Structure 1
Amino acid sequence: MHVFLSSTRTIPSKKNMLSLIPNDYDHHHGELDMSVNLGLPFFNEDTQSLKVKGACINGIVCLYGGAQFGNKDIVLWNPAMREFKVVPACPIDCPYYADYSVEGLGFGYDAKTKDYKVVRTVYIWEVNGPLYPHLIESILAFDMSHEVFLWMALPDLGNIRDASTKKSFNVLDTRIAIIVDHVVEGIEKSFDIWVMREYGVEESWTKQIKIGPLLGVDRPVGFGNNGNLLLVDHNGEVSFSPG
């Protein structure tokens, strides 16, 4: 089963709703007219910040219950088989005297060992006085097989440090893609799609398409198999924009 996890949102009952859409779904001919309660027995009802980390791989998604629960609430879940596995807690403790934050959690597949891996990055610092974040405009990639980090430069995306501009990373036709989200005149949004044509080659970055301005869009969530950009509105509903 190959699925694209479209959105996560909290509803008034404090229970989390996950929308699962096939990544080959054709919005021109298909209809989403039925919901199925799959159940999430591995999280309690107080979990309000349930998030999906990474893409769906071979029908498996990585769910994260929020930093307040620690990484005991990292779960690999196959919704089709209704099976899950809780990821063991990290055995490495941060120093008691240091401040830290969990900067990212990724889920991937190691083709060499034919196994799944969860990668967690933690930012630790010790300072006297104010903390000044060090902004680096680059991609930090992790080689699942050799377990090493790689740096990749970004293209010139313009003024992406503006508060109204955001960027997110995804995969489009097996290539790394960047979605740059711009606010237009306060209410509309436009999206620039950048694609790295050759893996690891900075000069191969290409601005593929500009979408919008669009009204009522909250954020992008990724691409379907047909290259369409999947967007979420302010109500948590999914819409499609031609890629």
Structure 2
Amino acid sequence: MAQITNKTDKQFPEDILFEVVSRLPAKSVGRFTTVSKSWYAFIRSPAFIASHLNRSIARNVDGDSSLYLLYASNILDDHKTCMILCDNMVSFDEVYDVELPMDFESKTCRLVGSCNGLVCLTDNHCAFNGRIIYVWNPLLRKFKSIIGTCCCNRLYEKFSEVSVGFWYDGAKSDYKLIRIMHFEKVDFAGCDKEQYHVEVYSLNTGYWRKIDDAKLPGIIKCSYQPAFINGALIWRAGYSLESEIDTDFILSFDTRSELFQRMEFPDFQEYHSTQEVPCLVVYKGCLAFFVAPDCGSIGSDVWSIWVMKEFGVVESWVKEYSEETPEKALWPLGFTKNNDILIDTSHGGIIAFNFETKQTRILPICGDNNFWINYTESLVFLEEKNELLKNRSSLKGHRTGITDENASG
């Protein structure tokens, strides 16, 4: 724990001060760094940041309200505003706006994932996806630009699909990324050449590391952010490498063992002719997905939730609900902490619908290309130096810099 040495500070025992300040909102605590050099060091210490984050997460889970980050559209143009909304179980109130501080070549962005108050984004266009990955703390206006390996145009054109995942490694107190790159021309049947490139990035070390013995059983084909459950990143995939038949299945990456595993979807053939298998999500702590018998461009007013009750056990798939929504829904966007499903409707609005209570709430924003994340304000990145570090490279990969955005808020 950093020492607090000012005379006025000594009036309070340091452990009591630690307990009190770590319970305050992140936005307020961030301002206290200007009180004195000792407070600056105290609040920026890893021990304090970790303690404050744990309390914020617990308060977000157990409290009466929960924060969410809404980015109004993944089509940026000149409008790059995100909104922090507070869900008080009755309505959604806007807390504040924050501008995206980074630029994307295609003017569109893709949400990779989020954890501990950090949001991971990359370019949404297939030509730029994964070339540069941003890890951003919206509260602190800080972000890191992470440059991928093999990112020159000539090399990158060899990859037809690039998928990115983001997670927190609690055992090593490290934030990590994975990039999975499939080669453009893949001979699925009996090809001995390398068909994909898998690498992991550590924010602690600042380097990419290739997984040489990665065994990937298929091609990731879903552009949505992967689900994260039981320490595994989950994607929808297809094209088994033993066959050219395109059969949808679930691809998981165990972030601890760094092994890939194939899992099967349940038998829901009644939906196959009208809708592709949607993105996978975490619902009530279980792997799940939503389907509609007839969605199309006008949406569907009947949606089903399939839930894998025991992770990794195909036989545990259960159709949990099959309910009529109050409006025709185009796509589920996310979930509230009391398991309301946020739905993009065919009328251009967004509603929160609960399958158990059948209650509906209308959100004060419009739909169209939105993405949502559950968001907890945190001080992660506050311990970083407030300077731009030049990118370095080595034989192991690329080291990246941190950008400190000094916007007020």
- Per the alignment, residue 329 of structure 2 pairs with 217
- Per the alignment, residue 116 of structure 2 pairs with 58
Higher relative contact order (CA 8 A, sep 6+): 2
- Per the alignment, residue 175 of structure 1 pairs with 286
Match of 1:147 among 236, 239, 258: 258
**C-alpha contact (below 8 Å) 2:111/2:121 kept by paired residues:** yes
Larger radius of gyration: 2
For 2:246, give the aligned amino acid. Answer: L
Q: Which 5+ residue runs of structure 1 have no aligned equivalent?
A: none
TM-score, normalised to structure 2, is 0.49
| RMSD of aligned alpha carbons | 3.4
Match of 2:309 among 179, 197, 203: 197
Deviates more, 1:176-185 or 1:10-19: 10-19
**C-alpha contact (below 8 Å) 1:107/1:116 kept by paired residues:** yes
Which residues of 2 match residues 227-242 of structure 1 at below 5 A? 227-233=339-345, 237-242=349-354
1:11 to 1:202, Cα distance in 2 relative to 1, 3 A: closer
Work out the CA distance in 2 between the residues paired with 1:93 and 1:13: 25
Deviates more, 1:212-221 or 1:137-146: 212-221
Is residue 89 of structure 1 aligned with residue 153 of structure 2? no
Work out the CA distance in 1 between the residues paired with 2:285 and 2:184: 36
For 1:80, give the aligned amino acid. Answer: L
Give the superposition deviation at 1:202.
Answer: 0.9
Work out the CA distance in 1 between the residues paired with 2:322 and 2:168: 31
Work out the CA distance in 2 between the residues paired with 1:121 and 1:112: 23
Deviates more, 1:224-233 or 1:116-125: 116-125
Q: Could you give the per-residue CA deviations for residues 180-225 of structure 1, whole angstroms, max 9, x where no partner exists?
A: 2443597341321111111111111111112325534331112221
**C-alpha contact (below 8 Å) 1:8/1:51 kept by paired residues:** no
TM-score, normalised to structure 1, is 0.79
Q: Which 5+ residue runs of structure 2 have no aligned equivalent?
A: 1-55, 58-66, 188-242, 356-409
Determine helix, strand or coil for the equivalent of 1:32. strand
Higher strand proportion: 1
Work out the CA distance in 2 between the residues paired with 1:5 and 1:156: 35
Work out the CA distance in 2 between the residues paired with 1:234 and 1:186: 8
Higher helix proportion: 2
Give the superposition deviation at 1:58.
Answer: 1.0
1:210 to 1:97, Cα distance in 2 relative to 1, 3 A: closer
